[in-house]
Amino acid sequence: MIQTSSLPTPGQAIELAAVTKQWGETVALKQIDLTVAPGTFTVLLGPSGCGKSTTLRIIAGLESASSGTVSIADRDVTLLPPSERDLAMVFQSYALFPHLSVAENILFGLKVRRTPKKQQRERLLHTADVLGLSPYLSRKPSQLSGGQQQRVALGRAIIAEKPICLMDEPLSNLDAKLRNSMRMEIRELQQTLGFSMVYVTHDQAEAITMADQVVLMQEGEIAQAGTPREIYQTPATIFVAGFIGTPPMNLIKAADVLQATAPGKGMEFLRGMHDSAANLSQSTSELLIGIRPEHIGTQQQASISAKILGMEYLGSDLLVTCRIGESILLARMPGNTEIAANETLPLVWAEENTAWFDSNSGARIRLD
C-alpha cells in the first residue's frame, strides 16, 4: 500500500582489519579480521566472554578499537561516532525508553533526525503493520509482553531503513517457542529488506539456522568463519568441533581407536589415514579422531569394538554412550536400533566423515 517504504534497503559491506581491543592489561580482541558481504546475514557465535559483543560494539562505534580499522562500504569509520555510521542496533534488553509509548519509541530516531512528520507517520504505520504492533502503538513498553517488546525494538531498528542492522543477543530473553518463531521472522525481515545483518548469539541453533556466514569466536580470536555447512562439516579446530553440534563431534584418541580395530573388517582406511596425518602434523603430539555422533553406525561385521556405558532413548534417535580404550564417545543411531545393554558394540563409520586433529595445536589436519 505504501510504496515509499517498501523499497528494499541495499545492504553495505563491513570490514574489520586487524582490530584489537584491550582494557589495560586485559586483551578482549586479538587482531580480528572480518568481512561481511553486503546484504548478508553474519552471526558472531561463541561462549560468553569470547569477545563477540565487543566486536559488535566496535562495529557500532559504541566502543573504540585499540588498533586496526573498521570500514563500512569502503569508508573508514574507525573514528566516527555511531550516528555517523548509518546503522541500526537492537539490544539484548531491548533498550526501550520506559517513559515513551510504543509509537514514540519506534519513531525516536526519526524524530531526532527531524524527518518530516508526514513521512514519520507513514513509516510508523507501515512498520507497525509489518510487525503486528498496530493495536499497541499508544501503550507503554511495560504494558507489553516480552515478545511484543522485542518487536518494538525490531521496529525501532527497521523503521530507519539503515543499510546495516546489528543485533546483540536479541532473543535470549524470550521463551523457547517464541524464540523459534522470532528467528524465522528476523531472517525473513532481513531477506525482504535486504540490509546487512551482524547478529551476536551464544546459541548455535540460532547461528546455524539464520546465518549466511557464521563467525565462531574463542577468547578474542576468530576460531573459524564460514557458511553454517562449512562450520558443521569441516570444523577447523578442536574448539569448533567441540562447540558446534548437539551433541558435538566426538574427539577420541587415535591410538585407542587403532588398538580397538580388528584387521580386515572395513575400517582399514584408519591406519592409512593415521600414517599420513602423522606425517602431515610432523609433531610427536597425539592425534585425535573427530567423528560426529550421527555418522557412527553399528554392523555385525564391523571391526571397532566399543563397550556400552549407557543408552538414552529419544524416540526418533537412540543415544549410545560407549568407550573405546580410554576414550568416551557418543553415537546417535536410529530409534529403532535394537541393542542389548552391557554388550560390546561393533562400530563403523565412513572414511569421508573422519576428521583428524592435532591435540597440541588443536588444528585440523587436512589429508586431501
Partner 1 sequence: MTETTVNTVNKKNLGRRFEFKFDFDTVLNTFAMWLLAFLWALPLLYAIWTAFHPAAYETRFELFAPLTLDNFVKAWNAAPFARYFLNTFLLVTLILTSQFVLCTLAAFAFARFKFPGRNILFTLVLLQLLVMPDILIVENYKTIRQLGLVDTIVAIGLPYIASGFGIFLLRQTFMTVPSELDDAARVEGVSFLGLLLKVYVPLAKPTYLAYGLVSVSHHWNNFLWPLIITNSVETRPVTVGLSVFAAIDAGVEWSVINAATLMTSGPLLIAFLLFQRQFVQSFMRAGIR
Q: Minimum distance between the CB of residue 18 and partner 1, rounded to whole angstroms?
A: 25
Q: Minimum distance between the CB of residue 113 and partner 1, rounded to whole angstroms?
A: 6
Q: Minimum distance between the CB of residue 164 and partner 1, rounded to whole angstroms?
A: 11
**Judged by CB, which is closer to partner 1: 8, or 81?**
81
Place of cell 521463551: 175
**Judged by CB, which is closer to partner 1: 100, or 367?**
100
Q: Minimum distance between the CB of residue 173 and partner 1, rounded to whole angstroms?
A: 12
272-290 burial, b if ≥16 CB within 10 A, otherwise e? ebbeebbeebeeeeebbbb
**Judged by CB, which is closer to partner 1: 115, or 321?**
115
**Judged by CB, which is closer to partner 1: 166, or 236?**
166
Q: Give strand pairing partners of 330.
A: 321
Cβ atoms of residues 260 and 306 within 8 Å: yes
Q: Minimum distance between the CB of residue 52 and partner 1, rounded to whole angstroms?
A: 16
DSSP state of 37: -
**Judged by CB, which is closer to partner 1: 174, or 331?**
174
**Judged by CB, which is closer to partner 1: 50, or 152?**
152
Cβ atoms of residues 25 and 209 within 8 Å: no
Q: Minimum distance between the CB of residue 91 and partner 1, rounded to whole angstroms?
A: 5
Q: Minimum distance between the CB of residue 106 and partner 1, rounded to whole angstroms?
A: 11
User: Where would I find the beta strands (DSSP E) of the chain?
Assistant: 14-23, 26-36, 41-45, 67-72, 75-76, 87-90, 164-168, 196-201, 213-218, 221-226, 250-253, 287-291, 297-298, 304-313, 317-324, 327-334, 344-348, 355-358, 364-365
Residue 124 has which C-alpha cell?
A: 510508523
Cβ atoms of residues 90 and 164 within 8 Å: no
**Judged by CB, which is closer to partner 1: 108, or 161?**
108
Q: Minimum distance between the CB of residue 220 and partner 1, rounded to whole angstroms?
A: 21
Contact set with partner 1 (CB under 8 A): 60, 62, 81-84, 87-89, 91-93, 95, 97-99, 108-109, 112-113, 156, 160
Cβ atoms of residues 241 and 224 within 8 Å: no
**Judged by CB, which is closer to partner 1: 97, or 313?**
97
Q: Name the residue among 248, 244, 177 with its Cα closest to residue 205.
A: 244
Q: Give strand pairing partners of 295.
A: none
Cβ atoms of residues 61 and 80 within 8 Å: yes
